[in-house]
Amino acid sequence: MDEYLALEDHGLIGDLQTAALIARDGTVDWFCAPRFDSPSIFAGILDRQRGGYLRIAPDGVDYLSKQLYLPGTPILITRFISADGVGEIIDFMPVTGEQVTDQHRLVRMVNMVRGSMRFRIECRPRFNYGRDRHDLELQADGVAFHSSSMRLTVNPVRPVGRLVHEADVHASGGDLLMFATFRQGDTGGMVVETASTHDPRVIPADEVQAMFEQTRDYWRRWLDCSRYTGRWREMVERSAITLKLMTYAPSGAMIAAPTAALPEMVGGTRNWDYRYTWIRDTSFSVHALLGLGFTEEATRYVDWLDERVREAGDSGNPLKIMYRIDGSSDLHEEVLDHFEGYRGSGPVRVGNGAADQLQLDIHGEALYAMHLADEQGIRASHQVWRSTVKLVDWLCDNWDQPDAGIWESRSHPRNHTYGRLMSWVALDRAIRLAARHGRPGNTSRWDQQRDTIYNQVMEHGYDPGRRSFVQSYGESVLDAALLTMPSVGFVTPSDPMWQSTLHAIDDELVSDSLVYRYDPAASPDGLPGDEGTFNMCTFWYVEALAYAGRLDEARLAFEKMLTFSSHLGLYAEEIAPSGEQTGNFPQAFSHLALINTAVALDQLLDRRRK
């Protein structure tokens, strides 16, 4: 277990309150409980020696491994192919529902398809990010691990209970090692349960089969609600399932990623914790899910967003950029010095110190989402509108100041063009909402401030020498976030100022269709090191090309981007120059942008055909 597998060699499973990453070699090397943002139980992806893992893999034989998802579900199948036989592990987590619970089940079923194979089974938990000691208790019908923070039980599934006997079980240092030989037709495995209130027990195979069928049927019923029938259905549906897996059912909040501290560049220091809910991500998710017809999910996200708007408006403060999944905002950042980090990429950070930054753009994304939802009949209550008015009034007083920007710069605040752009969006959508329903608000002031922002961006956000909109006033740095200017309605795609901006981005930020968000050397962001191309920006680029009438280029760039997905259709945050995926994995922003781009590109291609 000394080698780190590539991020793209992992699959994601989950139960809508937490999730696990499972590598192609049969290792669970990331799992936190009872919530996405809880301390880890298995974190081998951050430290192979000290992080902990749960592995089931062939023993003593050379094999080839492959992974696939059961179609229409997040049920992961890992197949091991050897000269002796073919075996597979089926991994899934039964859906927990909307009631908060500490009890979560990770089901690992082993099926022997052909021949025979000896499996090595290792369970080496490291509770509380590897900081808590634990004890192991071997019982007649299974195993229990105890720490000060968690109880974990391993419940064998027949016929493993029959195949494993005392000589095959080894306990050392609080860890468990087992061996089991499976022959053609054998089915066994384990159910790992957190916070179990009962002793371990041998679980009949038919009980696990019932869990499997219930999980499979839940996901397929959910996916049947999608109305997307376009050109890229398989990738769009996989992205939708992935986003659903990153949703915390009790609150409806979506996390940015289920992992923490995976580096944006191997060996670098840009290693952040993304297990929280960004206002920006949640707002974009409304657009994506409404585009697919998932109205119920969009409504839950809007409800969560409405609560944050009420809290901000009633307190007279701006929105925070991110929150925990329960809506709280304490995201204290700390470094886990005892973890080496993925492939030695330290520091390993949990929590997120950017939570208290001022990022003016999030108000635009929030109002944009509320406006889209309103168009679909998801309307804000009177109380939410009152708070929205207060928030928009706050923005009128505060939009014209430096901020940290969409990329969460940890250097000095600047007058970011994107922040002004999205402040314009916030005011524009608030005006539209008020007019549509005749709701009260100081719309004359909103209108005046909206026009002031527009004129300021056109005067100071555009560099005549570069013939391009730029990242911040008085600088010449390009920023891929500005690719969204046409899609939010700030400029028309045919505007010469926008056309020249797109050409400048073509020349400087695009590498064979992949897009850098900006040039770190030209735009110091307070952090050392470089980064790869940003997946979300690549999808934004495709959409911008399409709106600019460059449809053939857009489709080719989109198809190229699809080749960079993992074998399971998953995307991290970035693509390194080597082509490997980097950053937290999988990344909601990447999948949201994929969905929105596919929907928009489909519509424009269909329109051209007519």
| pLDDT tens-digit series, residues 406-440 | 998 777 799 999 999 999 999 999 999 999 999 99
For residue 534 the two structure tokens come to: 């940003």
Which residues, 6 or more positions from 564, have their beta carbon under 8 angstroms from its beta carbon? 514, 535, 571, 575, 579, 581
* Cα(136)–Cα(271) distance, integer angstroms: 33
pLDDT, mean of residues 382-401: 95
- For the stretch 112-136, pLDDT in tens is 999 999 999 999 999 999 999 999 9
What pLDDT is recorded for position 517? Answer: 94
Residue 305 has, within 13 A of its CA and on its CB side, a CA count of 33
Beta bridge partners of 172: 175
pLDDT, mean of residues 360-369: 95
Nearest CA to 388 among 330, 344, 443? 443
What pLDDT is recorded for position 416? Answer: 97
Q: Rounded to whole angstroms, what are the CA distances from 471 to 281, 401, 474, 529?
A: 21, 15, 9, 20
What pLDDT is recorded for position 172? Answer: 82
* Cα(100)–Cα(164) distance, integer angstroms: 35
The lowest-confidence range among 394-398, 422-426, 605-609 is 605-609
pLDDT of 360 > 50? The answer is yes
pTM of the model: 0.96
What pLDDT is recorded for position 216? Answer: 98
What pLDDT is recorded for position 528? Answer: 57
> Span 461-610: which CATH code?
1.50.10.10
Q: Using CA of residue 453, residue 459, residue 463, residue 469, what is the dihedral sign?
A: positive
26: left (phi over 0), alpha (psi -120 to 50) or beta: left
What pLDDT is recorded for position 525? Answer: 59
What pLDDT is recorded for position 597? Answer: 97
Q: Which residues of 27-55 are buried (b: 16+ CB within 10 A; e: fewer)?
A: bbbbbbbbbbbbbbbbbbbbbbebbbbbb
pLDDT, mean of residues 143-148: 94
Phi (first) and psi of residue 426, to 5 degrees = -60, -50
Q: How confident is the model at residue 161 (pLDDT cuts 50, 70, 90)?
A: very low
Beta bridge partners of 313: none
The lowest-confidence range among 163-167, 390-394, 495-499 is 163-167
pLDDT of 405 > 60? The answer is yes
Q: CA geometry: angle at 198 spanning 194 and 200, to 5°?
A: 75
What pLDDT is recorded for position 608? Answer: 86
Q: Using CA of residue 555, residue 560, residue 561, residue 566, what is the dihedral sign?
A: positive
* Cα(132)–Cα(139) distance, integer angstroms: 22
Q: Which residues of 296-335 are buried (b: 16+ CB within 10 A; e: fewer)?
A: ebbbbbbbbbbbbbbbbbeeeebbbbbbbbeeeeebeeee
96 and 79 Cβ atoms separated by less than 8 Å: no
> Span 7-207: which CATH code?
2.70.98
pLDDT of 164 > 60? The answer is no
Which residues, 6 or more positions from 535, have their beta carbon under 8 angstroms from its beta carbon? 561, 564, 571, 572, 573, 574, 575, 587, 589, 590, 593
For residue 100 the two structure tokens come to: 């908060």
- Return contacts of 382-385, CB within 8 angstroms, 24+ apart: 383/310, 384/306, 384/309, 384/310, 385/433, 385/439
What pLDDT is recorded for position 282? Answer: 84
Write the DSSP string, 190-214: EEEEES-SS---PBPHHHHHHHHHH
* Cα(610)–Cα(606) distance, integer angstroms: 6
Number of Cβ atoms within 10 Å of the Cβ of 162: 12
Nearest CA to 335 among 324, 323, 322, 346? 346
Place of tokens 């197949």: 79
Q: Is 379 exposed, middle or buried (0-12, 13-18, 19+ CB in 10 A)?
A: middle
Give the three-class secondary structure for 110: strand
56 and 67 Cβ atoms separated by less than 8 Å: no
288 and 547 Cβ atoms separated by less than 8 Å: no
Q: How confident is the model at residue 529 (pLDDT cuts 50, 70, 90)?
A: low
**Percent of the chain beyond pLDDT 70?**
97
Which residues, 6 or more positions from 208, have their beta carbon under 8 angstroms from its beta carbon? 107, 109, 157, 189, 191
pLDDT, mean of residues 304-323: 90
Give the residue with greater pLDDT, 162 vs 70: 70
Give the three-class secondary structure for 290: helix
- For the stretch 170-214, pLDDT in tens is 888 899 999 989 999 999 999 999 998 889 999 999 999 999 999
